Amino acid sequence: MIKLWMAPGGLHIEPGKMGDAKDLARIHAQGFYRGWPAGEFEGFLAEANTPVYVACDAKRRIAGFALIRVVEDESELLTIAVDPKWRGKRVGEALLRAVFDDLLLTPAKRMFLEVSEENAAAIKLYTRQGFATISSRKGYYAKADGSAATALVMARDLG
């Protein structure tokens, strides 16, 4: 079965491939203080329970991606990142819609995520997509200035 979802700006969303690891690491590093190396993405891409969804154009230039983990009836958004030139164009929203659509084919009933309480754009996106804050983790995210930000733990039901 071919998995494809439409996305804005002439992009589409499809499953990630092993050859995407370097692009995923580059985009992730542009969005997070501590980006993950390509080798870590290769590990996720090799595992069946950590699917990656990439938003790309017809030449497979990646504009953003979402990485999840599925374990029995729960799923977790491990990370989502959008190339800076594509931010604000609803790519993240399209990625989440593709993830939710694909999760309908799994036993997953609920999705969890963690987000810095300082990331207003991401919190707004997650809230629009039906997530609600269920707890927090003080000092969870390291920041460039040496301090740490609190993570909000959010969840939403699927299906």
Residues serving a catalytic function are: 114, 126
Buried b (16+ CB within 10 A) or exposed e, 130-142: ebeeeeeeeebbe
Please give the DSSP secondary-structure letter assigned to residue 14.
E
User: Helices in the chain by DSSP H: which ranges?
Assistant: 21-31, 38-46, 91-103, 120-128
CB-based contacts of 132, cutoff 8 Å, min separation 6: 154, 155, 156
- Enter the tokens of residue 156: 């939403």
